[in-house]
Structure 1
Amino acid sequence: MNTRPNIESPNTTRVLYVSFNADSSCFSVGLNTGICVFQSKTCLLKSTRDFNAGVGLVQMMGTTNYLALVGGGKFPKFASNKAIIWDDLAGKVAIEISTLSTVRGVQLSRSRIAIVLQNSVRLYSFEKPPNLVSVYETADNALGLCSLSDKVLAFPGRTAGQIQLVDVGTGNVSIIPAHSSPLRAIQLSPDGELLATASDTGTIIRVHATSNCAKVAELRRGIDPATIFSLAFSPSGSLLACTSDKATLHVFDVPHPKKPPKRPTPSSSTILPSAGDGGGRGKWGILSKIPLMPRVFSDVYSFASAPFEAGDEAPVVAGLPLTENTTLGTSRPAKGIIGWVSEETLVVVGAGNDARWERFVIAVGDDGRRYCVREGWKKYLGNN
Structure 2
Amino acid sequence: MDTRPKIEPPKRRRVLSVTFNEDKSCFAIGLETGFMVLRTEQGTSMLKKELAGGIGLAQMMGVSNIIALVGGGRRPKFTTHKVILWDEAKQKASTEINAVSSIRAVKLAMGKVVIALQHSVRIFKVRSGELLMAYETADNLGGLVCLSQKHIAFPGRTPGQIQIVELTTGNVSIIPAHDTPLRALAFSSDGQLLASASDKGTIIRVYSTHNCAMVCEVRRGMDQATIYDLCFSPSGTLLASTSDKGTLHIFDIPHPGARSDFSPVSPIIAPPVAHNHPGSAGGAGQSNGNDGKGKWGWLSQVPGLPRVFSDTYSFTSIPFSTDEPTDSVAAMSDGAALGTTKPQKGLIGWYDEENLVVVGAGLDARWEKFQMARDDTGKRFVGRVGFKHYYIEP
Q: 1:168 to 1:288 in 2, by over 3 A?
A: same
Cα displacement string for residues 319-349 of structure 1 (whole angstroms, at most 9, x for unaligned residues)? 9989xx9654871100110001210000011
Q: Which residue of 2 aligns with 1:351?
A: 361
Q: Which residue of 2 aligns with 1:250?
A: 249
Of 369, 373, 376 in structure 1, the residue corresponding to residue 386 of structure 2 is 376
Q: Which residue of 1 aligns with 2:120?
A: 120
**Is residue 13–residue 33 contact of structure 1 (8 Å, CA) maintained in 2?**
no
CA deviation after TM superposition for structure 1 residue 131, in Å: 2.3
| Mean CA deviation greater in 199-208 or 86-95 | 86-95
Whole-angstrom CA distance in 2 between matches of 1:282 and 1:195: 25
Given the alignment of the two structures, is residue 205 of structure 1 paired with residue 204 of structure 2, yes or no?
yes
TM-score (norm 1): 0.89
CA deviation after TM superposition for structure 1 residue 13, in Å: 2.5
Given the alignment of the two structures, is residue 361 of structure 1 paired with residue 371 of structure 2, yes or no?
yes
Task: Figure out how many residues of one structure are paired with residues of the other and give that number.
Answer: 364
**Is residue 222–residue 277 contact of structure 1 (8 Å, CA) maintained in 2?**
no
Whole-angstrom CA distance in 2 between matches of 1:39 and 1:367: 34
**Is residue 71–residue 328 contact of structure 1 (8 Å, CA) maintained in 2?**
no
CA deviation after TM superposition for structure 1 residue 134, in Å: 0.8
CA deviation after TM superposition for structure 1 residue 283, in Å: 1.1
Q: What RMSD, in angstroms, separates the aligned Cα atoms of the two structures?
A: 2.6
Whole-angstrom CA distance in 2 between matches of 1:44 and 1:317: 26
Unaligned runs of 5+ in 2: 1-10, 263-271, 277-284
**Is residue 235–residue 261 contact of structure 2 (8 Å, CA) maintained in 1?**
no
**Is residue 123–residue 133 contact of structure 2 (8 Å, CA) maintained in 1?**
yes
TM-score (norm 2): 0.87
Name which structure has the greater RCO, CA cutoff 8 Å, separation 6+. 2
Q: Which residue of 2 aligns with 1:132?
A: 131
Q: 1:273 to 1:258 in 2, by over 3 A?
A: farther
| Mean CA deviation greater in 342-351 or 312-321 | 312-321
**Is residue 18–residue 58 contact of structure 1 (8 Å, CA) maintained in 2?**
yes
SS of aligned partner of 2:330 = coil
Q: Which residue of 1 aligns with 2:279?
A: none
Whole-angstrom CA distance in 2 between matches of 1:350 and 1:198: 20
Q: Which residue of 2 aligns with 1:58?
A: 58
Cα displacement string for residues 160-201 of structure 1 (whole angstroms, at most 9, x for unaligned residues)? 010000011111100001110011111111111111111111
Of 303, 321, 324 in structure 1, the residue corresponding to residue 315 of structure 2 is 303
Of 321, 339, 345 in structure 1, the residue corresponding to residue 349 of structure 2 is 339
- Residue 385 of structure 2 aligns with an amino acid whose one-letter code is E
CA deviation after TM superposition for structure 1 residue 315, in Å: 6.9
What percent identity do the matched residue pairs reach? 52
CA deviation after TM superposition for structure 1 residue 261, in Å: 8.9
- Residue 121 of structure 2 aligns with an amino acid whose one-letter code is V
Q: 1:20 to 1:320 in 2, by over 3 A?
A: closer
SS of aligned partner of 1:287 = helix
Q: Which residue of 1 aligns with 2:303?
A: 291
CA deviation after TM superposition for structure 1 residue 110, in Å: 2.8
Whole-angstrom CA distance in 2 between matches of 1:381 and 1:273: 30
1:89-168 superposed matches below 5 A: 89-127=89-127, 129-168=128-167
